[in-house]
Structure 1
Amino acid sequence: MKINKLSYAIITALGVSSIATAQTADTAQPKRVIETIEVTATKRAESIQDVPVTVSALSGDALENLGVDNFQDYVEFLPNVVFQGTGPGQNEIYIRGAATSQTNIAVSTVQALQPSVAFYLDEQPVSMQGRNLDIYAADISRVEVLPGPQGTLFGASSQSGTVRMITKKPDFAGFAGGLDFGTSFTKGGEMSNSVEAFLNFVPFDNTAVRITAYNDRQGGWIDNVLNDPDQGGYRGSSVVISRISGGALADPANTPVVVPQNDALVEDDFNDAIYSGVRFGIAHEFSSDWDVLVQHTAQQLETEGVFAYDPNLQGTSSVNRFQPEENTDTFGLTTWTLNGRLNELELVYTGGLLNRDIDSLVDYTGYTNGGLFSAYYVCSYNNADQADDKCLDPTKFYKEETDTSRITHEFRVNTDAARDWRITAGIFYDSQELNTVGRFKIPNTEKFTDLARETVGKEGINSNGGPFESEVGFVNDVSHGIDQIALFGQAEYDITEDLTVTLGARWYEIKDDYKGSTTTVDVSRRLRAFGSLDPDELIAVGEDPAAVNAAIASGQLDVSLLDDDGVLTVDDTIFKASIDWKATSDLLFFATISEGFRPPVTNRVGGGKSTSQTGAFEGFRIPVYSTTDTLQNYEVGMKGDFFDGVFRMNATAFYSEITDLQTSRFDPTNISFLVFTDNVGDAEIMGIDGDMTWLATDNLILDASFSLLDTELTRINSELDGIAPPVGAELPYSASFSGNIRARYFMELENGLTSYINGSLVYTGDRIASMTMDAFVLEETTELVYGTGSGLSIQQEAPVFAGVNYTDANGDAFKGGRYIQDSYVLANVAYGITNDEWKAELFIDNLFDDNAVLHIDNQQFTPKVVTNRPRTIGVRFSYDFF
């Protein structure tokens, strides 16, 4: 069959490549080969098959064929990449099983745990504390994934890998434009609509402009149902508090309980999401050797409701919420890149300015079920002087206003790529600032006001010293600044024409300045006290200087990285070495040793003694900061084209060692009602990942990719023994096997038309949730609150859970275990017709209407299940003009 140019353009090998043609000498007939994507994984433009590092890539055509637009969708087709979180704009990325856990994504900006995977838009790092940017994939050239440490070239947070979204740039070829729109219907949910457009033009011979705009309204499918006291709801919450957290109520059986009401908030399909944005790009060529590109991207993501269901309610789309839930996430990113050449040297100066604003309103009512403090202020304190005990309405909210800015500069030099030795070297500067104010409604505001005045010594706790707003009982008002400077370099030398060695290194210095206050803690003064160890300052923040110095002398507390102003400073050098062998023109082998890291994280209440000082928490003090966690990686891989270029296979086997793995901790019963970070211990990861492309026939192309993982905790911080999973346990969110297969079959029709069928299957294996063995505790809470368990799978990992106050209704210690996020399979299909100008497509996502457990969210102290969209049927249409 004759295959025209358009057919080859649209038949993208989903994930790595597309079909191309070559003339054979004897027949002069087109021969099918796999066209290779050009990537910039080494900060040079190279063929994905020639670069001696593991790289996965989804081209722009592949993203379009898969119907992929947002963060969650494209991660599904990268099996060595997982995301965990509570919905659009509230997710974290993990690669190759190097996963930890955010205790609560809603307050992750205060917690300041750095990501383990760096996220880039073009040349600019846009990773952020707590929440990665959820950038809509509009007018995208490709998404590159670099598994394994990339710290020498990409710096902090490239600990377990780097994800890069590469946009389409202004094109000097001339005028072009395109329009894409779609509409779809979700089973049991609302209608969704999207529109995307781009325009490229050349106003002057040496200047090109490209404009992209998009709006995608994603209808909801989760229902906020009536809280019926006769059907459970939160009617037993105060009893739960008494039994779980150690007797907050004197007589829980006889204490009247106020049932929270949500009548005014009952709504079907209340979890809407709207992505809207625009990108402007202008490129100018000064000469054949010098050019500049300036781009500005602006996006707003608005969500309402929640994207998780309550497994205790009927079906897989119902939840009880008692406050409106809203999240507005807006960012503006301006970037610039100047490219030039001086003789054989390629010079690149690139930088970016990112500003991001997050405004959230979160229902926090479930916090009533999970802590000694909330129980006290809801019930006991309120009625301490009353004969007739009565608990307050437990309805609560959390309001967050977070402003983040990040400015980066990088200057690097590349030597001539044609030489047998090549060097990439540069300097990098990064300055981040996060300012966040979080307001919590916790009943009995007066008590918190008194506590704030006593502890902080001022009227209220707002940044200007003002009073509390109505209903607000607790406030975080903190700033977090991170400044980094780094020198990096990578040298390659061709020992022979086919054998190359590479050495790389990066020196960095990071300063972390964490300041501000909470209702009960003056963070700035506390860190200065622990930095200077001034006895008067330690006494002023409520610490015994002798006890603090004893904890430091014993090694329990580390304050060596703090200066007298409370600023944390860390510096180090990391390395990379690799060797690659080009066995044939189509077969490459490589071996690599590399390092990655995450910087330390400062804690608000660092150095303080835990609330409980018995059992597992005897003598426990909260770390002043978690120390740097590092990942040492060893891998061997191969990349090859076989059978005359119709079959491609790339695979990598790796072994990684993580030292001092950072994680979040939140234990309001035994330690503190403020989240903090800690180093859980060490871990090992072994695995294999790979991808394949097969041009099966003239009309059929198949793609597949997979990930095999074996993760294990090898050492546990002694202070977490019996709380964290034991030695030998799996890391969270890491499936032993994940994979996908995609197929595309096409046929030529009359009048220059081509039809095609796309299909994909995605499998994700069982994954363990969380880094804390608290599932049985949460399950008992669920039983008491709702009168029934969650029905979720639990893996028992210890005879008992070591929390001293964690006993069930019979007074027995809870077993230690974690929830299991069960395996799932998702299938998508699409049928389309296209020609040189337009394409029309009918698609079905989640063909079999499977309900996937994407994440188990415990921030409400009873488990909620973040899930995927039910079966969705829709149409897409695109039109390009030149």
Structure 2
Amino acid sequence: MRSKLVRDRMVPVLLATTMFAAPGTAFAQQEPQASGDTADAEIIVTANRREENLQDVPISVTAIGEAKLDQAQVASFDDYAKLLPSVSFQSFGPSQSQIFFRGVASGGDGLHIGPLPTSSLYLDEIPVTTIFGSVDVHIYDIARVEALAGPQGTLFGASSLSGTLRIITNQPSTSGFSGNIDVQGNKFGKGDFGGSVESYINVPLSDRAALRVVGFYEKQGGYIDNIAQTRTFTLDDGDPTTNVVVNNSALVENDYNDVETYGGRAALKIDLDDSWTATPQLIYQHQVAHGGFLYDPRKGDLNVTDSLPSVNKDRWYQAALTIQGKISDWDLTYAGGYFSRKVNNRPDYSYYSVAYDSYTYVDDNGVTQFGYATYYPDGKGGFLDPTQNAILGDTYTKITNELRISSPSDRRMRLTAGLFMQRQTDAVRADYEVQGTGAADFSPWLSPFPGTDSVYTTRVKRIDRDYAAFAQGEFDLTDALTVIGGLRYYRYNNTIFGFSGPNTGSNLATCLTTTPYKTGPCVNVDKRSKDDGFIWKGSVKYQVTPDVMVYGTVSRGYRPGGNNRRPGVDPFKADTLDNYELGWKTRFSNVTFNGAVFYEKWKDLQYSLVPVGQNGQTNTYNAGDARIYGIEGEISARWGGLILSAGATYVDAQLTTDFCQVDPITKNIVCVPAQAPAAAKGTRLPVTPKFKGNATARYEFPLGASQGFVQGVVNHQGGTRSFLTDADFAAVGATRAFTTFDFSAGLHWDQFRLEAFIQNAFDKRGALSLNSVCVTQICGQYSRIYPVKPQLFGLKAGYDF
């Protein structure tokens, strides 16, 4: 039987202030308030693949409930990421972010043909992790966001190396008809106007069936200006009479980085009988982001000088089916889905051409040669504009099936076991074009492929297959002491096939076959990487009192290995993360204080870079080992209508072995005693700040016939190292610490809600990450800043029915 302390536990309203709820989250769900909170007395999560009170789960979990998501004006990933102290990310803009937990980041993740992410993203029961850029799910009618820090490989598998982020939608209910509509208008302080319209409706079709339909439209105004610039290309030929002058006058525009997002969700719940329920669901989202979301500080605040039109078009849908029922008194769950995503991206790639305009190299005889990287005769006695376009496209698919069974939760011994399979593909289509080269004279640098303007092309099909069997059990040794153990057998089989490279004789000579792959000239990539093994988890949970629980965990996560497209470059191996964690979850009167300390060992970390002399072609290597230690926690309290809460994470992450150099012959990593490493032992891991935290103060009060509130939030994060290797870091530099403030106030009466807010009230220009549009060795000097959103004013009105 279950622990008596847990079974007999009284769970008052204050229990909603649980461990790792984002500041204000738990209190916001205690009782009906003007903010639209629920009357639920506890936060229920499924971090262990069964419903449990968050305060009883011996895992570091941040659960941001629906009320808090609404209170914080959360609509996208950037909005809720700032509420998660253990989460950091790199980004190029909407739908182009890579997510990291607890500092497990190398700065070389998330490339189109490279390693899988270190963390996984789930939408309900189905993983939607893709290789480059996480899906930026519009947050509306969402029950909660769960952030599971640390390896979650036993129950969640591949790409849960550092953690798992779960978005849980509200499900159809037969309890009654309901719905709402929310309308928002906003404006960036010095930027453009935006707004959104969102609505859902829940319709009981019978006492055994219900339909829930959600729709939304959002337009985000721009805040980055593309200003005028003239460039003079020397063509790298030493002759000033051949210079080419170009300008961007046709693209000059204020507030040019606008975003349009629309989509919806439909879910049907059918109670097949008293024990079995089927829930098919379809989700669709369409997003178009114009312009760039990184600004160039050399050109002024929130300014850029783009020479090419930029757009990122992201469309995706997920068709899912969940079937839940009982076999005897055991719970059986099947979750299956098909996910499809198409991304077309055209960044401003012009700085690549600028960097190569003075490109020289030393040949095998030690003689310096001109590169002629921008020298393109037009066939009419002149020269073409050498600005190179990047036309990128990915078509992702993912088929997922999972079957698991769980024993009754009130037994002394509890077990969850299952089978998992996943097949995900990425059809990569990339062209790097210099307009007009197809009809021009031969270039001494790179010639286009016949019939095109593309001087470098990629047409590859990547298939990643994952299979697993897993089990996790819990056993109550006493009423207070529980031991937990988990094991997962995994097997992956990853392939890559197609063509990638420039139109050069040496590159075409590597072709394995002349049979065209779609529009590629031949096949020069045909590789396979496969492996299998076990990962594990062991925990001890001790319920000191009904209000104090401590736990200790040792666990391992993994990320599958993969293939390099470059001929002669070895595949990269799976990397693993061993986690040693001590945590506590406590409640004293009206104060909840919870936390965890952790130490993690990252072995064979995967890192992607472009070795010199490989025409910008990226390889992925196992760079070495690293260690991470830190502490995370939150404290929350409520006195009447006053709610105070704070949360923070401190992380110290660094290499424990040298990351050596790339051998110029084999293109693989080698360590040479007399040669300085690319990054030495003790080098800080990139992207993640050492400290990230936030705090919230909220006061709720009656005002006549209505309920009112005022709220203030402060967010702070420290500076970061931008890249792992010393050369990349020297080219780009570090980000600095920053602090932002958000304020809001509103009223709630009857079924109406009205709220005004200001985010980043003092318009601080915090840098979330630094990136360059092409490889750092080439474009690092032109790196740009991905900033926190600038000052944003908004007014939101809602009606519940």
* TM band (smaller chain): 0.7 to 0.9
- Residue 770 of structure 1 is matched in structure 2 by 723
Query: In 2, distance between residues paired with 1:639 and 1:400?
Result: 47
- Residue 4 of structure 2 is matched in structure 1 by none
- Note closer, same or farther for the CA distance 1:49–1:313 as it changes in structure 2 (3 Å cut): same
- Alpha-carbon deviation of 1:15? 3.2
- Alpha-carbon deviation of 1:577? 0.5
Matches within 5 A, 1:39-58: 39-58=45-64
For 2:599, give the aligned amino acid: Y
On the 8 A contact 2:541/2:549 being kept in 1, the answer is: yes
- Residue 678 of structure 1 is matched in structure 2 by 621
Query: In 1, distance between residues paired with 2:420 and 2:243?
Result: 58
- Alpha-carbon deviation of 1:420? 0.7
- Alpha-carbon deviation of 1:436? 1.8
Q: Secondary structure at the match of 1:64?
A: helix
On the 8 A contact 2:280/2:322 being kept in 1, the answer is: yes
Q: Secondary structure at the match of 1:312?
A: helix
On the 8 A contact 2:209/2:269 being kept in 1, the answer is: yes
- Alpha-carbon deviation of 1:873? 1.1
Which one of the candidate residues 578, 591, 594 is aligned to 2:539? 578
- Alpha-carbon deviation of 1:53? 1.0
- Residue 726 of structure 1 is matched in structure 2 by 680
- Alpha-carbon deviation of 1:155? 0.4
- Alpha-carbon deviation of 1:749? 1.5
On the 8 A contact 1:377/1:444 being kept in 2, the answer is: no
- Residue 655 of structure 2 is matched in structure 1 by 713
- Residue 666 of structure 1 is matched in structure 2 by 610
On the 8 A contact 1:444/1:473 being kept in 2, the answer is: no
- What TM-score, normalized by structure 1, do the two folds share? 0.79
- Alpha-carbon deviation of 1:854? 1.4
- Residue 556 of structure 1 is matched in structure 2 by none
On the 8 A contact 1:378/1:393 being kept in 2, the answer is: no
- Residue 321 of structure 2 is matched in structure 1 by 336
Amino-acid identity (%): 30
- Residue 771 of structure 2 is matched in structure 1 by 857
Which one of the candidate residues 409, 420, 424 is aligned to 1:428? 420
On the 8 A contact 1:374/1:442 being kept in 2, the answer is: no
- Residue 610 of structure 1 is matched in structure 2 by none
For 2:267, give the aligned amino acid: G
- Residue 25 of structure 2 is matched in structure 1 by 15
Query: In 1, distance between residues paired with 2:326 and 2:412?
Result: 19
- Residue 510 of structure 1 is matched in structure 2 by 492
Which structure features the higher share of helix residues? 1
For 1:859, give the aligned amino acid: V
Gaps of 5+ in 1: 23-32, 229-233, 240-248, 462-466, 530-539, 543-561, 608-622, 779-817
Aligned residues: 740
- Alpha-carbon deviation of 1:323? 1.1
- Residue 798 of structure 2 is matched in structure 1 by 878
Query: In 1, distance between residues paired with 2:411 and 2:476?
Result: 9
1:641 aligns to 2:590 (yes or no) = no
- What TM-score, normalized by structure 2, do the two folds share? 0.87
Matches within 5 A, 1:202-221: 202-221=204-223
- Note closer, same or farther for the CA distance 1:477–1:639 as it changes in structure 2 (3 Å cut): same
On the 8 A contact 2:257/2:292 being kept in 1, the answer is: yes
On the 8 A contact 1:13/1:19 being kept in 2, the answer is: no
- Residue 604 of structure 1 is matched in structure 2 by 565
- Residue 790 of structure 1 is matched in structure 2 by none
1:325 aligns to 2:310 (yes or no) = yes
Output one character per residue of 1:394-419: Cα deviation in whole Å (capped at 9) or x when no partner: 32211122211101000001011111
Gaps of 5+ in 2: 1-12, 33-38, 361-369, 514-521, 663-674
Matches within 5 A, 1:437-452: 437-442=429-434, 445=437
Which one of the candidate residues 749, 758, 761 is aligned to 1:835? 749
- Note closer, same or farther for the CA distance 1:282–1:541 as it changes in structure 2 (3 Å cut): closer
Which one of the candidate residues 619, 630, 634 is aligned to 1:691? 634
1:742 aligns to 2:742 (yes or no) = no
- Alpha-carbon deviation of 1:451? 11
- Note closer, same or farther for the CA distance 1:756–1:172 as it changes in structure 2 (3 Å cut): same
Output one character per residue of 1:714-742: Cα deviation in whole Å (capped at 9) or x when no partner: 11233356463221111001211110001
Query: In 2, distance between residues paired with 1:372 and 1:681?
Result: 35
Which one of the candidate residues 58, 62, 66 is aligned to 2:68? 62
- Residue 482 of structure 2 is matched in structure 1 by 500
- Residue 573 of structure 2 is matched in structure 1 by 627
- Note closer, same or farther for the CA distance 1:773–1:448 as it changes in structure 2 (3 Å cut): farther
Q: Secondary structure at the match of 1:269?
A: coil
On the 8 A contact 2:237/2:372 being kept in 1, the answer is: no
Which one of the candidate residues 410, 418, 425 is aligned to 2:410? 418
On the 8 A contact 2:659/2:677 being kept in 1, the answer is: no
On the 8 A contact 2:585/2:595 being kept in 1, the answer is: yes
For 1:486, give the aligned amino acid: A
Q: Secondary structure at the match of 1:774?
A: helix
Matches within 5 A, 1:747-766: 747-751=701-705, 753-766=706-719
Deviation >6 Å, runs of 4+:
372-377, 383-386, 447-452, 521-529
- Note closer, same or farther for the CA distance 1:870–1:679 as it changes in structure 2 (3 Å cut): same
Query: In 2, distance between residues paired with 1:523 and 1:585?
Result: 68
For 2:202, give the aligned amino acid: N
On the 8 A contact 1:260/1:395 being kept in 2, the answer is: no
CA RMSD of aligned residues (A): 3.1
Query: In 1, distance between residues paired with 2:723 and 2:414?
Result: 44
- Note closer, same or farther for the CA distance 1:448–1:384 as it changes in structure 2 (3 Å cut): closer
1:175 aligns to 2:157 (yes or no) = no
For 2:557, give the aligned amino acid: G
Which one of the candidate residues 89, 93, 104 is aligned to 1:98? 104
Query: In 2, distance between residues paired with 1:14 and 1:81?
Result: 18
On the 8 A contact 1:756/1:832 being kept in 2, the answer is: yes
- Residue 251 of structure 1 is matched in structure 2 by 238
On the 8 A contact 1:367/1:859 being kept in 2, the answer is: yes
Output one character per residue of 1:105-147: Cα deviation in whole Å (capped at 9) or x when no partner: 7xx32x2320000100000000010111110111000000000
Q: Secondary structure at the match of 1:825?
A: strand
For 1:479, give the aligned amino acid: K
Which one of the candidate residues 334, 350, 369 is aligned to 2:335? 350
On the 8 A contact 2:684/2:724 being kept in 1, the answer is: no
On the 8 A contact 1:523/1:605 being kept in 2, the answer is: no
Output one character per residue of 1:631-666: Cα deviation in whole Å (capped at 9) or x when no partner: 111000000111x2x111110000000011111202
Query: In 2, distance between residues paired with 1:169 and 1:866?
Result: 35
- Alpha-carbon deviation of 1:872? 1.3
Which one of the candidate residues 257, 268, 290 is aligned to 2:254? 268
- Residue 83 of structure 2 is matched in structure 1 by 77
